[in-house]
Structure 1
Amino acid sequence: MQALRAAIAKALPKGFEEVVAYGMPGWVVPLSLYPAGYHCTPCAPLPFVGLASQKSHISFYHMGLYADPALLAWFEGECGKRLPKKPDMGKSCVRFKKPEDVPVALLADLCRRMTPKAWIALYEAKLRR
């Protein structure tokens, strides 16, 4: 989990901030960059990526996967190329049974693909719908 956390922190573009939110380590767009905050809790920063070590799996949350169909398609394609089997996925969550199953390099590549500015624009476009 520490190796994954370090890889994500290194890979994320400048501007995201590491926090502990929802009881897990995560990265957000801070209020200093996006004063409007998260629509559910406007005084809270805009969530982007999160990690959780659950009882039976490790969860990696990436809100861009939920909001951007092109990013999701890229990720699913890369999973097909780089992983021996299809990962267990939810709308913004990817679950791994064992720490050795976590594709750290792939998740780092995913994290590099969206800047805070791009995430804000996508978030606002989806919110207006």
Structure 2
Amino acid sequence: MEYTASSPEDYISQLSEERKTAIEKLRLTVKQNLPGGFEETMAYGMIAYVVPHQLYPPGYHVKPIEPLPFISIASQKNYIALYHMGIYINSELLAWFREEYPKVVPTKLDMGKSCIRFKKVSSIPYELIAELSGKVTVEEYIGCYEREIALIKKK
């Protein structure tokens, strides 16, 4: 589901009470654990944490007017989603997350390339998300991103 919200607070205000509580807690978890330099905004109808143009002027290669996306939080129709571009482009981070997830969540990991889906609010592993949020600095992410873009351009 895409919400027409101008701010994270506006986005959250449009949610059901159960989703509102979970998204607020997820937002707080990410914000409190992200390394410095990332900026909270709205992007693609979701709460987003991005590398601002001041730190990475080229922006997102797909749409350079947009800042470089890193993490997004969304309330979708059937689940809450956490999109993490770091696990998409960093195989070591992805391996770590896949190894840690079953240690704290009894249900099977439901995940796409960068999307982690939580069908039950009660299954959101906030402490694991906190750790994941703090694992990649802005500088490390930019470096990984630029290596991936260079590989894409070679193809």
Q: In 2, distance between residues paired with 1:67 and 1:120?
A: 11
Give the % identical residues. Answer: 49
More strand as a share of residues: 1
Q: In 1, distance between residues paired with 2:79 and 2:95?
A: 23
Q: In 2, distance between residues paired with 1:24 and 1:37?
A: 18
- Structure 1 residue ranges, 4+ long, deviating more than 6 angstroms after superposition: none
Match of 2:143 among 97, 116, 121: 121
2:102–2:109: 8 Å Cα contact kept in structure 1? no
Structure 1 letter corresponding to 2:88 = Y
1:46 aligns with 2:54: no
1:95 aligns with 2:154: no
The two structures, once aligned, show a CA RMSD in angstroms of 0.7
Partner residue, 1:58: 80
TM norm structure 2: 0.82
TM norm structure 1: 0.98
Structure 2 letter corresponding to 1:82 = V
Unaligned 5+ runs, structure 2? 1-22
TM-superposed CA distance for 1:5, in Å, is 0.3
Partner residue, 2:25: 3
The structure with more radius of gyration: 2
Structure 2 counterpart SS, 1:15: coil
Q: In 2, distance between residues paired with 1:54 and 1:83?
A: 20
Structure 1 counterpart SS, 2:40: strand
1:78 aligns with 2:103: no
Partner residue, 2:49: 27
Q: In 2, distance between residues paired with 1:49 and 1:111?
A: 8
1:17 aligns with 2:32: no
